[in-house]
């Protein structure tokens, strides 16, 4: 640890290790595999976005072992937005699981409102929000300019 290109005060992104330690709130009761996945996903977004996620989001995965249903008291939510992940996510390959997590983070980042809650009836279709979220994920996952230049030189 410590010799990565992204370390240093000026780094644009956190490392997965830094995200793990910041712990934006991953409610899985000791599910380290999911925590590692969320940590990796949040290491792909700019620091200022990750900071907003730490302050405003909590990731919840109701584990199969928890049984058919789970009650989550408000104390655990700390007034945050919840990103609810299905355990099915763990069956996806790593890159697509990261995309799935970042897609939900994009809805938070873009302050999207679920169609059922929108006051404007024009928002009944959430297609626009889905397209916006996907475009945001593409921007986050695009390699940084320096890396693209290095690739071109090869
Ligand atoms: Zn969506």
Question: Using one digit for the tens of pLDDT, what is the confidence trace for 10-65?
Answer: 579 999 988 888 765 666 545 678 888 889 999 999 999 999 998 898 888 777 67
- Residue 118 confidence (pLDDT): 66
Whole-number Å distance, alpha carbon 66 to ligand 1 midpoint, is 26
Whole-number Å distance, alpha carbon 136 to ligand 1 midpoint, is 11
Residues at Cβ < 5 Å from ligand 1 ion = 130
Percent of the chain residues past pLDDT 70, beyond the cut: 76
Whole-number Å distance, alpha carbon 139 to ligand 1 midpoint, is 16
CA distance 126 to 147: 34
Bridge partners (DSSP) of residue 81 are: 57
* Mean local confidence (pLDDT), 58-73: 78
Residue 1 has pLDDT above 70, yes or no: no
| pTM of the entire predicted model | 0.78
Whole-number Å distance, alpha carbon 22 to ligand 1 midpoint, is 25
Bridge partners (DSSP) of residue 61 are: 85
Whole-number Å distance, alpha carbon 134 to ligand 1 midpoint, is 8
Q: From the CA atom positions of the chain, what is the Rg in Å?
A: 17
User: Are 126 and 115 spatial neighbours (Cβ–Cβ below 8 Å)?
Assistant: yes
Whole-number Å distance, alpha carbon 122 to ligand 1 midpoint, is 17
More confident residue, 132 or 20: 132
Residue 121 has pLDDT above 80, yes or no: no
Domain ranges of the chain: 16-153
- Please report which helix (H) or strand (E) contains residue 82, including its range: strand 81-85
Task: Report which of 146, 151, 142, 148 is spatially closest to residue 46, judged by C-alpha positions.
Answer: 142
Mean pLDDT of the chain, nearest integer: 81
> What is the β-pairing status of strands 81-85 and 26-27?
unpaired
More confident residue, 124 or 142: 142
């Amino acid at each position: 640890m410590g010799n990565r290109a992204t370390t240093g005060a000026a780094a644009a992104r956190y490392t997965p290790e830094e995200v793990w330690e910041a712990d934006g709130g991953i409610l899985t009761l000791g599910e380290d595999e999911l925590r590692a996945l969320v940590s990796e996903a949040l290491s792909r977004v700019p620091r200022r976005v990750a900071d907003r996620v730490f302050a405003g989001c909590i990731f919840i995965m109701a584990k199969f072992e928890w049984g058919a249903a789970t009650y989550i008291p408000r104390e655990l939510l700390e007034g945050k937005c919840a990103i609810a992940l299905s355990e099915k996510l763990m069956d996806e390959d790593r890159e697509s699981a990261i995309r799935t997590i970042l897609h939900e983070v994009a809805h938070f980042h873009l302050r999207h409102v679920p169609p059922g809650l929108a006051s404007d009836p024009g928002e009944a279709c959430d297609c626009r929000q889905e397209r916006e979220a996907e475009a945001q994920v593409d921007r986050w996952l695009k390699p940084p300019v320096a890396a693209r230049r290095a690739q071109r030189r090869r």
